[in-house]
């Protein structure tokens, strides 16, 4: 009898261990690597900071029927958050079921795109689930795979998540790192990623613009630095606002402008419908914020939206 009880206890313990291990394998979580450094690990402080950024942002009211995507910066939140908030502000009243983030891989080179093999990303606001079905569908394409090391320390996706969780707490995530691409890849990747975009999906392109200075091995000029950085950025922004993929690629090649998210932006320019309008909302540099332009990074907020039908008609008439 005693032996029987011990056997039953052993079996129960074994089953418990198996179940616990099964659950841990079922829920793969990409933990925060930025909390406490790039942004606060205190959820209340972080929430107040984001609320403050959104309150201070004052973008123009757009005649938008719906929103397709944003370009937002990805530096430490205290530096880039106020600029990014201008883009997030225009979509704060929207409800999206899915958020796709296109971001560059800063640390690990690879060709194509990478979607992590995890179920959740985690921040001080809790876990945000991936749209596992959509991610699985996208990874069937030859250009989209999983490069685990690329995601483990990458900041360009995670830095957007506090804004996403604050504004769209019920949204699922499709996180995509974009690596090195050859000419045909831009079109092929855009065609695949477009399959995940519908009226309830927001695409966020995570990118900083000009990285100037010795720290970034980019010093194309040494005088009137702030003015020339702005001119350099404006040239790239012009191509984006004009939805000119080829013009954007040509500008990147000619100027060697250090836009870290250049490839994600280029892919996105091939994803957007012809009917989409583009508006630059905000611009700032770390040099202006710190008063030191020896090293400077530029932050830009851009929104892509479908206009109201009357607005679209008026603009087309003005072209004639």
Question: Which tens digits make up the pLDDT trace of 164-196?
Answer: 999 999 999 999 999 999 999 999 999 999 999
Judge whether 291 lies within some domain.
yes
Tell me if 220 is assigned to some domain.
yes
Would you place residue 309 in the very low, low, confident or very high pLDDT band (cuts 50, 70, 90)?
A: confident
Cβ proximity of 181 and 123 under 8 Å: no
* pLDDT tens digit sequence for 266-284: 999 999 999 999 999 999 9
pTM: 0.89
Q: Residue 5's pLDDT is what?
A: 56
Strands 64-72 and 295-307: antiparallel
- Are 164 and 99 in contact by the 8 Å Cβ rule? The answer is yes
pLDDT band at residue 9 using 50, 70 and 90 as cut-offs: low
Report pLDDT for 121.
Answer: 98
Classify 289 as helix, strand or coil.
Answer: helix
Is the model's pLDDT at 260 over the cut of 90? Answer: yes
Q: What is the mean pLDDT of residues 235-259?
A: 98
Are 268 and 243 in contact by the 8 Å Cβ rule? The answer is: no
Q: How confident is the model at residue 18 (pLDDT cuts 50, 70, 90)?
A: very low
Instruction: Indicate whether 17 belongs to any domain.
Output: no
Asked if residue 282 is part of any domain, the answer here is yes
What is the per-residue pLDDT for 15?
46
Q: Does residue 22 lie in a domain region?
A: no
The answer to whether position 122 is within a domain reads yes
Query: Alpha helix locations (H) across the chain?
Result: 2-26, 43-56, 77-90, 132-138, 148-152, 161-167, 183-193, 225-241, 245-255, 262-269, 286-290, 309-319
Query: Given pLDDT bands bounded at 50, 70 and 90, which one contains residue 13?
Result: low
Say whether pLDDT at 315 is over 90. Answer: no
**Do the beta carbons of residue 53 and residue 172 sit within 8 Å?**
no
pLDDT tops 50 at residue 24: no
Stretch 35-49: mean pLDDT, rounded?
A: 98
As a whole-number percent, the residues of the chain with pLDDT over 90 amount to 87
The CATH number that applies at residue 274 is 3.40.830.10
CB atoms within 10 A of CB 96: 20
pLDDT reported for residue 25: 54
Beta bridge pairs of residue 35: 39
Q: What's the structural domain count of the chain?
A: 1
Instruction: Find the mean pLDDT for residues 80-88.
Output: 99
Give the domain extent around 263: 31-319
Share of the chain above pLDDT 70, in %: 88
pLDDT at 311 over 80: no
- 6 falls within a domain: no
What is the per-residue pLDDT for 267? 99
Judge whether 149 lies within some domain. yes
């Amino acid at each position: 009898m005693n032996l029987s009880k011990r056997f039953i206890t052993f079996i129960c313990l074994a089953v418990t261990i198996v179940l616990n291990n099964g659950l841990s394998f079922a829920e793969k979580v990409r933990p925060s690597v930025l909390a406490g450094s790039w942004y606060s690990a205190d959820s209340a402080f972080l929430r107040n900071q984001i609320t403050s950024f959104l309150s201070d942002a004052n973008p123009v009211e757009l005649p938008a029927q719906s929103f397709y995507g944003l370009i937002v910066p990805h530096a430490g939140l205290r530096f880039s958050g106020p600029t990014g908030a201008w883009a997030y502000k225009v979509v704060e009243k929207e409800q999206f079921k899915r958020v796709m983030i296109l971001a560059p891989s800063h640390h690990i080179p690879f060709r194509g795109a990478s979607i992590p093999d995890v179920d959740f990303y985690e921040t001080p606001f809790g876990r945000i689930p991936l749209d596992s079905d959509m991610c699985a569908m996208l990874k069937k394409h030859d250009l989209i795979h999983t490069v685990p090391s690329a995601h483990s320390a990458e900041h360009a996706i995670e830095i957007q998540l506090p804004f996403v969780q604050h504004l769209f707490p019920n949204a699922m995530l499709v996180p995509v790192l974009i690596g090195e691409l050859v000419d045909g890849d831009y079109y092929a990747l855009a065609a695949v990623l477009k399959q995940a975009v519908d009226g309830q999906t927001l695409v966020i392109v995570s990118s900083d613009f000009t990285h100037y200075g010795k720290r970034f091995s980019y010093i194309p000029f040494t005088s009137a630095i702030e003015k020339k950085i702005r001119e350099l950025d404006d040239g790239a922004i012009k191509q984006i606002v004009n939805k000119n993929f080829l013009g954007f690629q040509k500008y990147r090649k000619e100027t060697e402008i250090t836009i870290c998210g250049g490839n994600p932006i280029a892919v996105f320019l091939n994803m957007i419908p012809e009917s989409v309008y583009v508006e630059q909302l905000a611009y700032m540099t770390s040099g202006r914020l710190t008063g030191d332009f020896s090293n400077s990074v530029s932050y830009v907020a851009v929104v892509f939206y479908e206009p109201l039908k009357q607005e679209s008609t008026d603009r087309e008439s003005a072209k004639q």
